[in-house]
Structure 1
């Protein structure tokens, strides 16, 4: 079993209602590139972590065309919510709608061999100048969700943890936030996150080994539209 990760696929149904090429020519045919990489690397015995912003759809019923396209690819799929996944519903509703083809993390964790897969969306951190007072409640709630996921895995006896976030766990790619503190407390061996797209933010992103945890930026454009092997 191998474990892969990717985020920010930003699919938009068939026919495409929001072509990603409007964000730059490098996005042209991005889903075909992702599929080719996925099919080349991933087998049905492997796990793929989907770290948010999967579909532009506003409703779960509209997202199913995108979710089914992913479900048809090899491997077991474990997913968290991104800030643009407005179609996200309760775990039970999503599991039923996708006929159990995905595992959705929300205050829980998934088991992949000796690994516990934890995660939640995360949020803009208070250190960010763009942080508003209305963000505080969401940030606090996401901290609790991440801690609940990590705590459940730790209580179950797992010492090898992969944490999925959508938002980066650092502000300005260096300053630790509450999420980085949780990562250090448990500790987490691998942390994957997405959300970043600009050339400058991708170049400056916190990656590699930091305080014993290996960080991976897995927004699909940062990976040149491939899935990234973690384990």
Structure 2
């Protein structure tokens, strides 16, 4: 199997020293909009031309049925759950176990009960919870604009603090499972500057998270968030256009 966009590759070793055949990947910002697309993404740059086909090609080249894929938000431009059906059906037919996280443009996102009722056989949802993949606990929250942003407001602070509470609830669930490792997934980056401290980074360090993936950032006209190892946590941007529309292998 080819390893597209790998970082910090770690073998998941079971107690019997048997190497697991399950890999964990992450990708974000698919920005699907039906077929034919109702919102062609090439208006944001020529590299977005046929991006859906590029994602599928890379996905099929990397992911096996036993693998797990974290989808870090901005999955569909649809405005309601029923309108998102074509995009979710397209995603469902790709191989692997899929864990979905809400992005700021996922207006179709409904209550967990409703989504599980309609799509529980195709997807699992990361929201105030933790999911296990072999001996790895995976937690996720949308995140939010950080206090370091010039546009940060009092209303943003309320949402930012609420998202931190949600993250800690998920991390508490993860810690209770005593996993071999913890992966945290965000839509918004949890930090930008290499030494920036946020409520999110503090929680990742407190609970011993080893890997953190996030999306939301696109192209050359945006401030790039920190990537790499910091205080025991490996941070990685996985917005699909920044990764050549390939998935990033975490574990």
TM-score by length of 1: 0.96
Task: Tell me the secondary structure at the aligned position of residue 84 of structure 2.
Answer: helix
Q: 2:45 is matched with which residue?
A: 24
1:150 equivalent among 171, 175, 179: 171
Q: 1:130/1:174 Cα in 2 relative to 1: closer, same or farther (>3 Å)?
A: farther
For the pair 1:210 / 2:250, whether they are aligned, the reply is: no
Report deviation, 1:172.
4.2
Matched, 1:138 2:159: yes
The count of corresponding residues between Structure 1 and Structure 2 is 230
TM-score normalised by structure 2 residue count: 0.88
1:39 maps to 60
**Equivalent residue, structure 2, for 1:164:** 185
* Cα offsets for 1:60-100 (capped at 9, x unmatched): 11111111101100000001101111111111211122242
Preserved CA contact (<8 Å) 1:164 1:191: yes
Instruction: For residues 9-40 of structure 1, give each alpha carbon's deviation from its aligned partner in whole angstroms, at most 9, with x where no partner exists.
Output: 00011231111000000000001000000001
The structural deviation recorded for 1:188 is 0.6
Residue ranges of structure 1 left out of the alignment (5+ in a row): none
CA separation in 1, counterparts of 2:244 and 2:150? 29
* Distance in 2 between residues matched to 1:180 and 1:135, nearest whole Å: 17
Matched, 1:111 2:132: yes
Higher alpha-carbon Rg: 2
Matched-pair contact (CA < 8 Å) for 2:192–2:226: no
1:224 aligns with 2:230: no
Partners of 1:174 and 1:71 lie apart in 2 by 38
Q: Which moved more, 1:71-80 or 1:168-177?
A: 168-177
